[in-house]
Amino acid sequence: MGLKKIIHAKTVVLACGGFEADKEKRKKYLGKEWGNALVRGSEYNTGDGLEMALEIGAQPYGDWGELSRSHD
């Protein structure tokens, strides 16, 4: 097991990828119409890190229903 270190902070930014590869999470967070969407991105972005954080009390922030897109 690795070294355990406690860091006190007001805010933590979790950078662990998204959940676009998980059909059920897309439906849960984006709406049922996203269940059968063909998505781009990594097949490994299943939202496991986000789920682990939420399970121990992390608070989601931002609009999870808004997908990333390029702006002109």
Per-residue model confidence as pLDDT tens digits over 21-32: 999 999 998 889
Residue 27 located in a structural domain: yes
The pLDDT of residue 71 is 46
What's the whole-model pTM score? 0.68
Instruction: Please state whether 22 falls in left (phi above 0), alpha (psi between -120 and 50) or beta.
Output: beta
Q: How many domains does the chain have?
A: 1
10 Å CB burial of residue 66 (0-12, 13-18, 19+) is exposed
What is the span of the domain harbouring residue 48? 23-55
Residue 2 located in a structural domain: no
Per-residue model confidence as pLDDT tens digits over 35-52: 988 888 788 999 999 999
CA 1 to chain centre: 26
The residues near 60 (Cβ < 8 Å, ≥ 6 apart) are 50, 54
For the chain, the average pLDDT equals: 84
The pLDDT of residue 40 is 82
The pLDDT of residue 21 is 92
